[in-house]
Every structure is written in structure tokens, then in C-alpha cells.
Chains A and B, each alone.
Chain A
Amino acid sequence: MTVLHWATIAPFLLAILIPFFYKYARRIHTGWFVLILPLVLFIYFLSYIPVTSSGDTIMNSVPWVPSLGIYFDVYVDGLSLLFALLITGIGTLVVLYSIYYLSKKNERLNNFYVYLLMFMGAMLGVVLSDNLIVLYVFWEVTSISSSLLISYWFHREKSTNGAQKSMFITVFGGLSMLGGFSLLYVMTDTFSIREIIANVDLVTTSSLFLPAMILILLGAFTKSAQFPFHIWLPDAMEAPTPVSAYLHSATMVKAGIYLVARLTPVFGGSAEWFWIISLVGITTLVWGAISAVRQKDLKSILAFSTVSQLGLIMTLLGLGSASLYFDVGAEDTLYTTAILAAVFHLINHATFKGSLFMTAGIIDHETGTRDIRKLGGLMTIMPITFTISLIGLASMAGLPPFNGFLSKEMFFEGTVNATQFGIFNMETWGMLFPVLAWVASVLTFVYCAIMFFKTFTGKFKPENYDVHVHEAPFGMLISPIVLGSLVVIFGLFPNLLAYSLIEPAMASILPNLLEPGQQFDVGISHWHGVNTALLMTIGVIVVGIVIYLMMKKWSKLPFYLKERDPLNRLYDNGVSGLISGSQAVTRAQMTGSLRDYFVYMCGFSILLLGYTMYRYDAFAIDTASTSSISPFMWIVALVFIGATISIAFVNHRITAVIVIGIIGFLLALLFVIFRAPDLALTQLLVETVTVVLFMLVFYHLPDLQRRTAKLRFNILNLIISLGVGSLFTAIAVSSFALGQDANFESISEFFIENSKELAGGYNMVNVILVDFRGLDTLLEVLVLGIAALGVVTLIKLRFTGREDV
């Protein structure tokens, strides 16, 4: 266990201690104890920047289940460091924010911080693990802790519903991902991502390449809320705002992005990977932007905008994966722009979306509502919140001089470059990307404008609010101010990040492209100059303003009024259909009638055994070694059969008992004829006792009912009984014949020879029962004892339930 390992699991360790802090230090807000940890971790991870920016990586391994190839490997390269810094950095700010957001008196802070720390640790584990199984374990812990956090106010029905939905969807994806990882293991015989990348030829040439890819992508898409799995994210907004800011904007939803980026060296370069990710990403981008425009709740707007922005990043990762295509050669730089934009926007999105969620939380906290139809005129009342929101929204809309502008420019550049690809049919379909990207950006601009102007401009109406509206306390403002200033700083000085974080991250997404010692040209400084992207941005701003000004007209349209995502209906109907469908299936076969179950069992036995016999051609008849039958035997057998058949037609129960008694007697006779005196004796005794028992309970039984069942059922029963009878006859005959063929010697010779010599008895049956195989007899005696006890208990405890045995 190295320091890195301890850093990864430190949040879990602290989570154990949180309830004690909460209980024994009630006067101090529990969050203060938590705050230290992410801060320390953040500083600790900052110390790795020199290492990764010089192109080095760090790998520490601790065996967990070595026999299965599962090692707790912690691996730090540019990509994981970037995510680790995001997680701990924003984690610090979110904890600080939550200290002021959640009241010490009214909230169960111990629950909150335990879940939050669990989540933080799991997220660190996801990004730092090199072993796929360990990554999966942490991945599922993020799902669980996210659901716990969404249902933090568990007495609200909406919270629990949202938690359930997110759990279903993300765990569905997580399990598919596990399948994909297993396939990767099958292909490469290792769970280590490093080694898989090193043996990437094994993967690309395997027939399991596509299944593994799709399964893993399902996991990434569900976690990162890609179309059509994005529906859980808006419902997750029932969580407390710090949670929304942390999980549902900055970290957890980026786990899927991380996974795609991490596995790009494995799957990238193939047309399927390129098209699936790009198309899903661009669909999510447009769909999220369309949905965000029609939301009326601040957090819902932000949720859909998160969906949309994640789609953007995903599209860029998809487009950028083309640079791993082996034929592209010198045109590399065209495609790597997309990856650069993806990484840069990832950072930018985390900063501005985090600050926006926090300001939305502040507005909610100080006004009591998040509905944009009620809000308005908050500019002068909440000046600091206003400023931060302005910065965040302008950045999200892609306005200069904030960082969103830069990443949007690069996004346009990436999509325009994509049209120049000479691969994957891009020359025909490539135009799709810039056009859709542009439309989505216009919509993004529109919802940012709506969010800004509806909240802060207009007239202030005090009657809309239940509480006295005022600026938030300073403590709550610290975190959004920090994030807002980062937005500005990254906007003005993008190259602060370029070679410290972005270039190493790109190097991990696109390894093997660089010669040793070479670096990607992180051309963020190239943002001067008039090019297509700049013209597109100007177009976005102009058209966006026009659309916003015409809002009065289109806000009457049904499109704007329908808030719920139509895919929710699909999900809801799917869930209720699944429930009612499975109930219907259960009801159809679980009738509660033993007769039906017996039909299933017998029918299944016939099919299974019959098919097995047919499949292996096991029917055989051997008449050579059978013995002769005397005429008397024929008569006994015929009487036997006649008595058996007549039972089916007997209408009176006592007659049935008598006939069964006769069959028992005849069976005893058969034992006599086949020279088994002990068996005959026992059979007689048992038969008599059975008949007497029948007579004992007889008095309490109703008469046999007249046969009222339909003929159809009788025919089915007849077929099944005939089937069982003939099948087992066939099996018996065949096994006799095959047994003759196999010609094994019987072991009874041993008993015949040794029953006198070894056991000192002449009665061989009894010697076997009590000597050679006495254990069986012992347990049979036990069975009888249990049966007797059972009868006594049943009779004695019949009515009262008292223990009076």
C-alpha cells in the first residue's frame, strides 16, 4: 500500500469516522471535518503535475485477488490526474458550499457526508484504477452512493423515484460494462488496462471486439447520461443542490467520458467506435439542448444542459478517435484538435456548471423557489450571485472572453475538420456534424439567455416569494466565486492548463501517436484570427439573440409547454409494463393447482428424457437373455394390469382402496414368485398398514366428486400418463439391453460368497441391510422416526398451536 493507495481509499476511511464526529461534536458542523480531506488530497494530487507533464506515469500495485488477476493497481497519468484534480478540487468546494447550504439543526448531516465521502472515494477509485475489475467495483459504488444522495430527503416521493430510476439505469449500464470487461479479459487474458493497450492487436483482431465495445459503451453512455439513457439525470435533480453540483455536473456523469477516453487506445481507430460515439454524442447534444430550452426550473435547465454538454464532449471524443486510424498519417493534427477540445471542455464544463448549480442553489435557498416564471429582478438584490451566474452562463453559451468560448471554438473547429476526413464515409455524412453542432449551440445560447434574463432582469415581485429575499451569506458564495474566477482565468489564460494538464491527458488518450520526447501541439493560443469557427460563433450569437427576442411568440407553442422528456413515458411504460407483464406471466403458470404443476413436471420429464433418448439413439431391445414366462405368470400379470386400469374408472373411494390393497397383495405374490421372502413379508405388512390407515382417515374424507372437468384436460392427462409410462418402459427395456451389451459383472457375487464368512449370516438380504450397508438402514430408521414425530405434531398441534406434545 503506497501513499497513492491510501489517498484513494482515504474518503472511505473518513466516512467510517463521520458518524462519531456527528454524534460527539454536535456544535461544529460536520462538514468542517470533511473539508480537510479533499483539500489535502487536492494539494497532494497537484504535486503530481510535474510528473505527468514531463510525460511520466506512476503505477503502484497491491494484490487483491491475485489468483483471478485482480490487483488494486493505482495508475496516474495525465487523464487520471486531470480527473482526480477535478474530483478533489470541486469536492472541496462542494463540501465548503454544503456547510452553508445544509442546516446543522434540521439535516441528517452524518448520512450526507458519509454518502458524499463514499462517492468521492469511489470516483477517485474509478479514475485511478488500472485494473478493470477494481474500476468496476468503484463504478458500482458511485452508482450506489449517487442513489443514496439523490434520495437524501427520502420522505419525498420524487426523491426516491429519482434515485430508483438512476439506480436502474446506471446499474443496467454497469452490468453490461462488466460483461464487456469480461470479454476483454477473454481476449487478452488480463484485466490491466495498460497491458490491454499494449496487446491491442489481440483485441482488434478478435471476433469479440464488437460485443465488448458495445457492452462497455452501454456502461459509459448510461453513466454519462447519453441519449437515450439521459432520462435519469433530470430526475436526479431532487437531490440536494451540492450533490447536483458535484455528482451530476462535475464528476459522476463524467465517469462515462473518462471510460471512453481511457479505452480510446483500445477501441479507437475502428469505424464502429467512431460512428457510435459521435452519433450518440451529437444526438445527445441536440436533444439535451432542445429539452433544456423548454424547462422552467433552474435545476432542470442545468440538468438538460449537462446532458447536452456531455454529448458535446462525447462527440469530440468520437471524432478524435479517428486519429488512431492507421491510415491517417500526417493529417493527425486535424483530428487531435477534437481530443484537445474534449479535454478542455471537460475542465471548463466542470468549472462553470459547478458554479451555476451552486448559484441556482443559492437562489433556491434565498428565495424559496427555482421556477423561472416566478423569479425575476434579482440583479440588484443578489449582486454577487448575479455576477457569478453571468460569468457561468456566458461561458456556457460560448461568449468571449470566457473559457466556454474557447472550447466552443475548438468544438466547431473539430467538427469542421471532421468533414475533411477521408475515412469512415465522412465525405458524405460529415456535414451533419458542424450543422447539428451549430444548431445545438444556438439552442444553448437561447437557454442560457432565458436562464439569465428570467432570473435576474425584469421587475422584482416580492409577492412571489414566501421569504425575505436577500443576498446569500458569504460562506455560501466562496465556492461559486472560486469557480467563477477559474472560468475567467482559464478564459483569459488558457495556456495555464495547456502543458500542465491538457497535453498529458491527450497523451494518455492518444498514446503511441507520439515519438518519445515529442509533445502534442496544444494550440489554444491559436484562437486569434478569422476562420470558419469564428464565423459560426458569430452566427450562433446573432441567431440566438433573434430567437430569444421572439420568445413571446414561440413560448405559446406546445413544444415549449411540454416539460417532461417524451422518453420518460417510454421508461415509465416500460417499467410498469415489465411489472404487469411479469405478473401476468407468473399468474399464467403459477395457478396454485398441484395438478397443473404435476402436469408441468411430467411433461417436462417426458420432453427432456425423450429428447435425450432420441438424440443419442438409446432405444434398444434385447430378447436374447430374457427368461421364459409360465402361463400362471401371464394370469397374474393380467390381473395386475386389470386391477391397475380399473382404479382409473372406480367412482367409489373405498373400492379404490380395496383394489389398491389387492394390487399390494399381488405385488407380494410377485416377490414370492421371484424368490424374495423378506420383501414379500415387508410388502404385506406395509400394504395392510396402509389399508388400515386409509380406513382410519376415511371417515373424514368427502366422497369422490363426479368428474366435472372438461374432456380436454382428461385427454391431456391421458397423453401425459401414457407418455410417462411408455417412456419409462422404454428406458427400462433399453437399459436392460444396454446393460447386457456392456456386460458388467454384478457385485452380488461378493455378497453371496461373503455373507457367511465375513458377516456370519445366512440371510443375505438381512446381512446387507444391517452389516454391509448398515448406514442406509440407520437413516431409514431415522426417516421413520421423523415421520412418526411429524404425525404426532400434526395431530397434536392441529388447532391450538400450543406446544403440548
Chain B
Amino acid sequence: MIELMLVTSLVLFGLTIAITLIRIILGPSLADRIFGLDMIGITLISVIAIVSILLNTNVFLDVILIFGILAFISTIAFGKYMERGVIIERKRDS
């Protein structure tokens, strides 16, 4: 029973990713696409968690944590790019 639930949720998450991908491709503005990327990242964290339960292992917990950080970093990078045009600012630029 619980396995069926997990698989169903996996399918639903898969659909989420597919729909978000469409948003990213169509998305009129850059911000839409960055949100899409961030969302896919978060969704993937959930997917990995469910997969860990399905596979009955805890080795992927690291992956989940790292993924959280990295999704954040890449979103920040994109955001900073949108705002300033550069990601790493140098002292002499300011």
C-alpha cells in the first residue's frame, strides 16, 4: 500500500517536472525560467527523498542536503546576473 502511494507521488512529481519544463521553455521572461529551474530543483529533492524510501537506503541523504544548497546557489547566481549582469563583483568595480 505504502509503495503504491510512493510510486503515485513519484509519477505526480514527474508530471510536475514536465509541466515546469514547459514553463521554462515557453516562459516569456527570464525570471519565469529561473523560477522554473528552482522549482525543478526543489521537486527533485522530494523525488530523491521518496526514491530513498523506496530503495530503503539512507545514502542519498547527503545528496538531498547538497541539492538544497546547490539549487539555492544557482538561483542566486541567476538572480545576481539578472540584477547586475555579473556574478562576482570585484572591489575595483564598485
Contacts and interface: CB of A to CB of B under 8 A. Distances in A.
A, B in one complex? yes
B87 interface: yes
A680 B57 CA distance: 15
B53 interface: no
A668 interface: yes
Contacts of B77: 691-692, 695
Contact of A654 (B10, B11, B33, B67): B33
Q: What is the predominant secondary structure among interface residues of chain A facing chain B?
A: helix
Interface string A671-689: 0110101001100110110
A636 B40 CA distance: 12
A432 interface: no
Given A658-B24, A658-B33, A692-B77, A669 B47 contact: yes
A677 B62 CA distance: 8
| Chain A interface size range | 35 or more
A675 B24 contact: no
B11 A632 contact: yes
A653 to B, nearest CB: 11
Interface string A650-666: 10001100110110011
A692 B73 contact: yes
Nearest to A646: B25
A144 B88 CA distance: 65
Q: What is the predominant secondary structure among interface residues of chain B facing chain A?
A: helix
Contact of A665 (B27, B34, B40, B62): B40
A280 B41 CA distance: 84
A473 interface: no
A677 B34 contact: no
Nearest to B81: A695
A630 interface: yes
A431 B66 CA distance: 100
Given A684-B67, A692-B73, A635 B51 contact: no
B74 A692 contact: yes
B51 A685 contact: no
Contact of A669 (B48, B57, B74, B81): B48
Contacts of B78: 658, 695
Contact of B66 (A635, A639, A684): A684
B11 A635 contact: yes
Contacts of A650: 25
Contacts of A654: 30, 33, 81
Nearest to B50: A632
Contacts of A662: 21, 24, 37, 40
A680 B67 CA distance: 10
A687 B41 CA distance: 12
A558 interface: no
A639 B47 contact: no
Given A631-B11, A632-B10, A639-B14, A672 B60 contact: yes
Nearest to B15: A635
A634 to B, nearest CB: 8
A662 B41 CA distance: 8
Contacts of B17: 635-636, 639, 666
A669 B44 contact: yes
Contacts of B41: 665
Given A685-B66, A695-B87, A677 B14 contact: no
A681 B63 contact: yes
Contact of B21 (A639, A675, A688): A639
Interface string A552-583: 00000000000000000000000000000000
Interface in B17-57: 17-18, 21, 24-25, 27, 30, 33-34, 36-37, 40-41, 44, 47-48, 51, 55, 57
Contacts of A698: 81
Nearest to B55: A675
B87 to A, nearest CB: 5
Interface of B: 7, 10-11, 14-15, 17-18, 21, 24-25, 27, 30, 33-34, 36-37, 40-41, 44, 47-48, 51, 55, 57, 59-60, 62-63, 66-67, 70, 73-74, 77-78, 81, 85-88
- Across chains A and B, which 9 residue pairs bring their CB atoms closest together, nearest first? A635-B14, A632-B10, A688-B70, A677-B59, A695-B81, A692-B77, A639-B18, A646-B25, A658-B33
20 contacts: A631-B11, A632-B14, A635-B17, A635-B18, A636-B14, A639-B21, A655-B27, A658-B24, A658-B78, A662-B21, A668-B63, A672-B48, A675-B57, A685-B70, A692-B73, A692-B87, A695-B77, A696-B87, A696-B88, A699-B81
